[in-house]
Amino acid sequence: DTAVSQTPKYLVTQMGNDKSIKCEQNLGHDTMYWYKQDSKKFLKIMFSYNNKELIINETVPNRFSPKSPDKAHLNLHINSLELGDSAVYFCASSQYGLAGETQYFGPGTRLLVL
């Protein structure tokens, strides 16, 4: 009965590779997000989708491409991975107009680029 799930939980890869992280929510929410948490624990929004449409696109290298096949899924594809991409990536979801649009987070994906 996991509300927001991410796969994989851990990802170790070489520089230059392409990788994807998947996110699914079963809360019926219409908005999903990707955050990056660096080694100092700072949380930075990367993208947000509402009903499969991109609504927030912060300054992120275009090597990062989100894809939302439906409103329950938001995947993150990263091309040509760099050392600086190593971080924990969190997916979150919320429902427009509900409870202050509280965001519910997935367990995170720890990405290590070697």
Partner 1 sequence: AQTVTQSQPEMSVQEAETVTLSCTYDTSESDYYLFWYKQPPSRQMILVIRQEAYKQQNATENRFSVNFQKAAKSFSLKISDSQLGDAAMYFCAYRSNTGNQFYFGTGTSLTVIP
Residues near partner 1 (CB under 8 A) are: 31, 33, 40-43, 45, 48, 50, 55-56, 88, 90, 92, 94, 96, 99-105, 107-108, 110
Residue number, 45 or 60, with CB nearest to partner 1: 45
In whole angstroms, how close is the CB of 16 to partner 1 at the nearest point?
Answer: 27
Contacts of 78 (CB under 8 A, 6+ apart): 18, 19, 20, 21, 63, 64, 65, 85, 111
In whole angstroms, how close is the CB of 94 to partner 1 at the nearest point?
Answer: 7
Residue number, 18 or 38, with CB nearest to partner 1: 38
- Residue that is written with structure tokens 């990367």 in the block: 46
Residue number, 8 or 16, with CB nearest to partner 1: 8
Count the neighbouring beta carbons within 10 Å of the beta carbon of residue 97: 8
C-alpha distance across the termini of the chain, in Å = 34
In whole angstroms, how close is the CB of 31 to partner 1 at the nearest point?
Answer: 6
- Residue that is written with structure tokens 């600086």 in the block: 84
